Amino acid sequence: MEGQDILDAFYNTVHGYPGGVVALAGRMGMSPNTLTHKANPNTTTHQPNPRELIDVQLFSGNYSVLHAMADALGHTCTRATPDQAGGDPVDTFTRLQVAHADFCRAVGDALLRGDTHVSRNQMRRAEAMAQEAIACVGHTLALLRSHMRAEAGADR
């Protein structure tokens, strides 16, 4: 859920796990009582440590804690996608252009059909295309970085 506090996101992730706190605590190698206390946003004596924050998200597949942390710091999170270009500069740049075109097409399809409302499917498609475009930008920047010449007298 968007706009959650970090501790609320942790609470909701722990208590929303299929099988409840007992099942999740078992996967984490922790007593259910301890996990319940750590997930209670009103408890100051038991707090989740960073490893537990990661484990809860990995086991649950719910990344709302990560998003709440990023939001608190003024950032957003984007799922990383592997580079498919294999280091080929032309392929990397072409994939960037295709991803941009796909994003523009998704936005155009949602806005230019004459309908005044955007459907959930149109929004999901635009978001997916945006994520792919963002990943391609990252891959392109990484490729450029890998081809940079070292400046004379500069440490890498």
Q: 16 in helix, strand or coil?
A: coil
How is residue 100 written in tokens?
């941009």
What is the model's pLDDT at position 90? 92
Pick from 142, 130, 136, 129: nearest CA to 81: 136
Radius of gyration of the chain (CA): 21
pLDDT category at 56 given cuts 50, 70, 90 is very high
How is residue 18 written in tokens?
């299929």
Q: Tens digits of per-residue pLDDT, 123-133? A: 999 999 999 99
Instruction: Name the residue type at position 44.
Output: T
